Structure formats: C-alpha cells, structure tokens
Structure 1
Amino acid sequence: MKIVIAGGTGFVGTALTNHFLTNKHEVYILTRNTNKPAHDPKLHYVEWLTEGSSPESELEGADVFINLAGVSLNSGRWTEERKKAIFESRVSSTKEMIRIMSSLKKKPAVYVNASAVGYYGISNTETFVESSPAASDDHDFLAHTVKVWEQEAKRAEELHIRTVRTRFGIILGKDEGALPKMVLPYRLFVGGTVGSGEQWVSWVHIEDVVSIIAFVIEHEDVNGPVNVTAPHPVQMKEFGQTIGRVLGRPHWLPVPSAGLKVMLGEMSTLILDGQKVIPQKLGEHHYKFTYNELEGALKNLL
C-alpha cells in the first residue's frame, strides 16, 4: 500500500513508519523539513504546510492517509500562546489533509485521524465508551480542542472516505511519551502517589497503538471514533504502585496536587485529572491486545 503520514517523525509516527516499512509498504511522510536522509528506499519525505508546497502532486494513488500532526501537549507550560499553538496545529493540519485528499483524482480508502480521550472530559466516577457524549464544558481546553479537531476530521466523510478517529489514551513507550517521566522518581527512590491518586489513567502500550492503527486500516467495517486504550485502565495510585513493584522500588513519597499546579499551571491537568475509558469498539471487532494488563506492559518496557 501507499501510506501517507503527517506527524510521521514523532513518537507514534516513527513506530508506525517502522512497522509499515517492515511490511514492505511505501510510506510518504508529510513534513516541513524534507532535508532528511531516507533510510529505506520505500520511505519518502514530502513537503507540506510551507509557502508554495503542493504535496498532492506526489500523493496520487495513496491508499491510506494518517494524521498524527500537532504540537505536543507536553511541550511546555500552557501559556495562552502555547494553547493557541496546540489548538491551531491540530486544526490546520487536519484542514490541510482534507484539502489534499479532496484534490486527488482517486481518493484514499481510509483516513485515520489522531484524537484523544480528552474528548470525554474529566471524571473519577464515569466510564466512557465511543458512544459517550463529548464533554459539555467548553472551558475544558483539551475537550474543546478535541471536539473541534474531530469536527474537522469528519469532513473526510463528505468525500466518501472511510474515516476513523483514534482517541488515544496515555501511550506508554520505553524512551518516549509520558512513562519515562513517571518512572524517574521511582528510579530515584522518591516515587509515590501523584495528586489524589483517584484519577483514572487510561493507558495503552505503543505496540498496541501501532497494531490498532494497522487493524482499523485492514478492517473495512471499522469507522468513526475508536478508543485506543487498554481494556483495564487503573487509578493513579495503582499505576504508581505497579511501577514500584516492577522496578523493586518503594512507593511512599506523595506528590501533592497544589505543588504540581504551581509548577505546571494548567498543564497539570494531564497528570491530576483523567477519565476511565474502555475500548468497546475494538472489543466488538475482536481486536486482541498484546498488553491488556498494566503490569505486563510495564515489565516489557522497564
């Protein structure tokens, strides 16, 4: 297949690219910087979102479009300028993907757009599945961003392209993502419960993220929102205790919410708030997780 990826050099994008290349697919990465050496003859860099670029000229005949582009949520304190960059980078990249696909004579078979479980808002008591409504509070920055982001992505359906909105939970990887920062205090023997400890962590192993995206591409009956989370979310206290158990380190020194709010500002919501999200649709389509329990995932990564 000919697969187009925006955000192909990030955490998830790199893992996906390696998977597709290993399986002999042609991968076209949309990037502002095309001066990168391609380590595989099936890997191509295509310039986009720059003045005068016309990526569509190289993408005719593409079978799959995947949009992972956007400024990282962990890229710095959430100033008003940073929040604007987070929001606009996701919306503008999605609009450009729609524009490119609409210009192609032959439309791709499927469009996979990254999204996030922040769509559902924050709760310590509710359980969310794909049919759960969006958070009603537009003062929730993440929820508002995801709602607008998904609205843009859904426009691909007007082009009669099967569209999948992958709502990612917290993606666990060995060297990237949230896990290294969560593990560091335990390596230093100062790990403990963060905040109340009651907030839910809807996590997923990076290997399953890659497998799930490949799965939804291959299964033509999958469309709409798909929760990309393991089937057994845990609360933050249990998450920390499991890290400690796997590493053989104590879980004892709590990190108070007030301190994190002072240190991180609004970005502290990524750590102090959460939601219990279940991958109902993947279960209905009989996807088999490689890592469905947290301890097994952490033993693999740590």
Structure 2
Amino acid sequence: MQITRSVAWASAIVSATLALATAATAQPRQGWTPTVEGLAVYQGSADLEDGGDFSASRAFLRAGGIYSYGDGSFVGLLASFGQFSYDFGLPGNQPWDDIRDIRLSVPLRFALDNGAAVIVSPQLRWDYETGASASDGFTYGAFAGISWAVNPNLRIGPAFGVFSEVGTNDLEVFPALLVDWTFAERWRLSTGTALGATQGPGVTLEYKASESVSVGLAVRSERVRFQLNNNGLAPGGVGEDSSIPVVLSVEYAPNPGLSLSAFAGAEFDGELRLDNAAGQEVSRQGYDTAPIVGFAFRLRF
C-alpha cells in the first residue's frame, strides 16, 4: 500500500472541527448546539490547455450539532450533502458532468488540564458522478491534532490526517498546523474556518472591522477525486479536480447564532485529471486562472 502526501481531505475535517471548537468555546454551557451551514460557489469560464473551456458551480449544505461539556470539550455529529456541476464548452472534451459529495463526520475535542486540547475527527465520504454507484466513491479516514495555549492570544500545535482515496489503494497522509493567533488588536491569523464546511485547509488573515463585520484573505489547496459513471470518456474511471483558491471575504455576524459571508477571488494552478477504470491516466490538462464568487451562511440554535 502506497502512502502519498495530500491536503485535500482537510477541507471538511479541519474546518468542521475548528468551527465546532469555536462554537464550543464561545458557548461554554453544557448541552447540545444544533448548527446548519450552507455554501454556494460559482467558478467562471476557464480555458483548458487541450482546447475548449469550462465553468462550474458548487453547493453544499451541512447540518448537525455538538454536545459541549462546558470545559471546552465536546463531541459532534455532522452530515453534509454537496454537488459540483461542470459545464464544458467543447462537447468532445467533456470528461464528466455533475458530481455528488456526501460526508459524515464525528469530531471530538478533549480539553486537558495543562491548557492543551486534543482534536480527533473520523469521517466517511462518498464522491461520485450522477449515475455511478455511490459505494464505488466511498472513502474513509481520520484527522487528529493537539494544540496548546501559548498565551491568551496564541494557540498552536501539530496535526495530521490519514485517508483512503477513490480508485486506488493509496493512502493520503498529510501534516497540518493548527493555529489561532490574535497578533494585534483586531487582527487574527488562523487555519481552518474561513469560507465554510468544504473549504481548506489553508491560512486566513482576518481583520475585525467592527463587532459584527470581519474582512478576511484566505489561501488554501484543494484536490477532490470522484468515481465516474459508465457514459463518459473514461467509463467507470476516476476524475480529479485540483486548484489553489485565493479569496477575499466579508463576514457579517450580527449575533453569535448567525453569520453571513460573501467572497470573491480566483483559482490558480488548476488541473483536471482523468483515469480509466484500470487506474491508468487517460488525460491531464491544466486550466487558466478562473474567477470565483460565492456566499456562505451559518446558523446555530
């Protein structure tokens, strides 16, 4: 079994876990806190190096909750459903259409006596094209890390993830860094939670303009693999989309239970890969820098 290094899986794991950690520490009362989150992203047209162009839209909805023990420790249950919709301009160069993304995770956080906190989050995931078998797009894994409160303004620590991949026996093994650093008045540098459940991992620089408005600049790495149906250029194969999004966001949070955010930016170093059912690479083509815009919301009850 091969081991590869990747950051793709932390998209859901880091952001989901740290978002729940924020909720648990902001609301230290014991008991359940239900949460609902949504994300919609539109990627503008980008030219493909083998000819033609494509655009895409992505939508996600996640619901669940956490049970807080009142000391910063919690256990949570999250379920999400998402869809990627691709629109290729050249009919002969259309490797796939709509992709479904279903996830189930159980994030846990344990607060230790010395100011440290341990995070563990196992996850099940299904990524597959409409018409393909969901079970063929099934993957699993876990993310874990530990962080320390160095001072009241800085929490930092190492983390790692181990996950299976669609269409291969390889494991994704990647390191990560948990950071939450308020380095100046109104300024914060953090990993994980910039743009909603599915985005990350990466680094977000945030400026709190007022009690309810924040402005952020986020950079991350993305890579998603998915099972294909039997109707495309590689029947029963595997597709992959990778890029490095950089976005500027504005968040409005009038109260602890509601936040709304809008963002705009671009995806750099984009690449589409297509493997056949035997696991052999059929094509790999880069795409030009693509503009992206989106909207996200979060409700806590």
TM, length-normalised to structure 1: 0.26
TM, length-normalised to structure 2: 0.26
